[in-house]
Amino acid sequence: MPHEYRDRTYIRKDIILKLSEYGELTQTKLLAYCGLNIVKHKDILDDMEKKGILNREEEKWGSKTITKYKVTQKGRDFCRMILDPYEEMFPRREKGDEK
């Protein structure tokens, strides 16, 4: 089965929606829930944090450091005003759609 490509715009929306749903997620859980890979997609998280769409906090947990993310109000507004209309205009392919 071929691997399906997901546009970076939809990846950003998926991240915002997961964080909105759960409130706060560790980096590991966020990436797993969104089907992302830390090596390939860490730059997206970093960019979203830099632009104020996400908040990142690091917390010591014994000898480890846990990274947690939360969506900001700016991120929620961005999703509602930009990403939702984008997906309405350019919907993701449904399973079975072929080109």
What pLDDT is attached to residue 55? 97
Mean residue pLDDT of the chain comes to 88
Architecture of domain 8-89: Orthogonal Bundle (1.10)
Mean pLDDT of 69-81: 94
What's the pLDDT at 1? 41
Q: Is the pLDDT of residue 2 over 50?
A: no
| Alpha carbons 44 and 32: distance in angstroms, whole number | 15
For residues 79 and 17, give the distance between their C-alpha atoms in angstroms, rounded to a whole number.
8
pLDDT at 5: 65
Q: Which residues contact 65 (CB under 8 A, 6 or more apart)?
A: 58, 59
Asked whether the predicted pLDDT for residue 4 surpasses 60, the reply is no
